Amino acid sequence: MGVLRSDYMVSQSGRRPTLRQVEINTIASSFGFLSERVCRAHRMLALKFPQLRIQLEDMPQNRFMEAIPSAFARALVLYEYKCNIRTQLSKEVFDDERQLKAELARQKSSTLVLFVVQPDERNIADQRFLEFELLSRYGIRSVRKTLAAIGEENQDRSDSILRANEEEVAISYFRAGYTPDDYPNESCWLGRELIESSRSIKCPDIATHLLGTKKVQQYLAKDGVVEKYIFDDEAVRRIRATFATQYGLGVHDDDRELGIAAAKASPELFVLKPQREGGGNNIFGAGIPSHIESMDDSALSAFVLQERFFPTVTRSMFVRSGEIFESDIESELGIFGVLIGSDEKVFLNEYSGHLLRSKVASSNETGFMLGFGMIDSIFLT
């Protein structure tokens, strides 16, 4: 299972604005629930103050709150059929919300959704929305555990069932595990290993997690790679139009020397990206040449050099720490999708909401938790 988010900017680097992909997030893709609430708040303000002359049709609704809890409920039903019921699941149960709820009521499942979280979780508000929606809409219970706690509780298990508080886990939902800081000791590594080797549905599994690395994104941009998986020529053309120019910097990358030369000649046109998530790790502009020079071949191979985008700048007002500010801002649009599948079949693959983050134009980063960005709403003009 995957709750994915593909992030885009409207870049002005060419003759006309174009939508360009920044990255794809395959683990702990966050802020969907908070974004849905911000969209609601902005739509309410448009209704409350008609003098603003804002039409609701110009403010797209966000369906994250509807789509993601439903996807988790369907995944739990799939788990029960796979592991405990062992009969064929009818398509109607999976596709129809009323029949889905009826099936959950019939199963009376005692299994849990496990939230894998950091010890001092700061983004708890966004996560709690899913917990509350699963319980109130579907009667599905959740529990929160760190990787270390999972490792300690399951280290002596003799079967493939993952347990939390001695109860069976149906879905392991990672909101941690994407940064080296999440693995400070062997208990944390053991926790990850025990989740991966269990029969619980992983959101995501380790393969899907690694698909979100910058190296995979760089590889997908190579000629002929997307065409291995998508056979519609027009779809391929539209997808490729969003790709950034990228250079691999490993010793086996054909474009390594070309990329290094381009970065040294025009560093302001590039971003140097490591295989890291969570924000605050990228190197921009004038800092790139010296950073490249400071690394040996092994260290440099962990980086990808990506074309830098120059987004449209707009004037806006925003609230931070209770104060109102006015500034030039740039925005980044994230499109959520949810995927449920097995080696043999894709059960669900659909759009599931959006996230718009804006930042002060003078800042390079848009990370919300690091204080760079803010949650915003789409306004079509």
Catalytic annotation present for 191? no
Contact 112, 78 (CB under 8 A): no
Catalytic annotation present for 345? no
Catalytic annotation present for 25? yes
CA 81 → CA 76, 89, 94, 135, 215, distances in Å? Answer: 9, 7, 11, 20, 36
Of 97, 160, 264, 278, catalytic: 278
Catalytic annotation present for 62? no
Q: Check whether the bond before 17 is cis (ω within 30° of 0).
A: no
Of 6, 25, 200, 358, catalytic: 25
Of 175, 256, 273, 308, catalytic: 273
Catalytic annotation present for 30? yes
Of 145, 215, 357, 359, catalytic: 357
Of 175, 202, 214, 215, catalytic: 214
Of 131, 133, 168, 277, catalytic: 277
Catalytic annotation present for 273? yes
CA 276 → CA 212, 249, 252, 281, 373, distances in Å? Answer: 10, 16, 21, 7, 18
Contact 3, 68 (CB under 8 A): yes
Catalytic annotation present for 214? yes
Give the separation between CA 149 and CA 194, rounded to whole angstroms. Answer: 11
Give the separation between CA 162 and CA 102, rounded to whole angstroms. Answer: 26
In sequence order, what are the residues at sequence separation of 6 or more whose Cβ sits closer than 8 angstroms to the Cβ of residue 127? 30, 115, 117, 121, 144, 175
- Collapsed DSSP state (helix, strand, coil) of residue 366: coil
Of 6, 11, 20, 23, catalytic: 23
What amino acid positions are annotated as catalytic residues? Answer: 5, 23, 25, 30, 214, 273, 277-278, 357
